[in-house]
Structure 1
Amino acid sequence: MSAHAAEHGDEPTIERPDRTISALGRALARVAPAKLPLLEAERDEVLTLAAETQSVGPVNGFLLRWAVTVEIERPPPGGPPAARSRAPRPDGHGRGNHALRRA
């Protein structure tokens, strides 16, 4: 991982992992272990495709997809993802598509 997991109260904070197959696999094992078999199966397919096509494109796509998955699954500092996304902003409005409502 890019930094060691920092302790925040009793709940460890999972830092954003480096965008490598092994780092994403370790992070996924911590935040969404049920998805690890999917990552491993897709990894094998992607590496085979990359070798057959002599292209790193499939690997780059794989790394991006799983980096996004880990980012969505990892709890942010200060609370669970759902609680933070529903928290009101300091101006009293809720989060979400407030920018779209102004238009």
Structure 2
Amino acid sequence: MTAPHAAGDVPVMPLPELTLPALRQAVATLVPSRLPEFFNDMQAAFVRAGDEDSVTPIRMFYRQWGVVIEIERHPHTAARLHAAERAVDDPDPDTRARAIREAGEIVRAAHRELAGG
């Protein structure tokens, strides 16, 4: 399995709290181009929470964007993920399979980090 973060892949900022203001600021700092997606996901989570009378969709939204930030705050890790995402469209099935494994490992490692290691 691939290491979650390469040696020397120092985070460019601390992991923020999983709160709306902290996550919004982190997205604005690290991946401002994704702010519209962040706000769309936030709106959908709050609507779903109201429809379901549950806070679970909001917690899932925080977790989803916490994973994004955990990855993006490590430049080398983020670059690996983005390369894997691009390689998923490669015509070679072996290249696609490697890309899917790499992306999955990176995302799972980010989930583990959010869960406390």
Question: What is the alpha-carbon distance in structure 1 between the residues aligned to residue 59 and residue 12 of structure 2?
Answer: 26
Question: What is the alpha-carbon distance in structure 2 between the residues aligned to residue 34 and residue 13 of structure 1?
Answer: 17
**1:52 CA displacement:** 1.5
Larger Rg: 1
Q: Percent identity?
A: 31
Once the two structures are superposed, the pairs formed by residues 9-20 of structure 1 within 5 Å of their partners are 13-20=12-19
Question: 1 or 2, which has the higher helix percentage?
Answer: 2
Question: How many equivalent residue pairs?
Answer: 70
AA paired with 2:57? P
Question: What is the alpha-carbon distance in structure 2 between the residues aligned to residue 73 and residue 21 of structure 1?
Answer: 17
Corresponding residue number in structure 1 for 2:49? 50
Q: TM-score, normalised by structure 2?
A: 0.54
Superposed CA RMSD: 2.2
Structure 1 residue 65 and structure 2 residue 64: aligned?
yes
Once the two structures are superposed, the pairs formed by residues 69-80 of structure 1 within 5 Å of their partners are 69-75=68-74, 80=75
Runs of 4+ in 1 over 6 A off after TM superposition: none
Gaps of 5+ in 2: 1-10, 81-101, 106-117
Question: What is the alpha-carbon distance in structure 1 between the residues aligned to residue 17 and residue 53 of structure 2?
Answer: 24
Gaps of 5+ in 1: 1-11, 86-95, 98-103
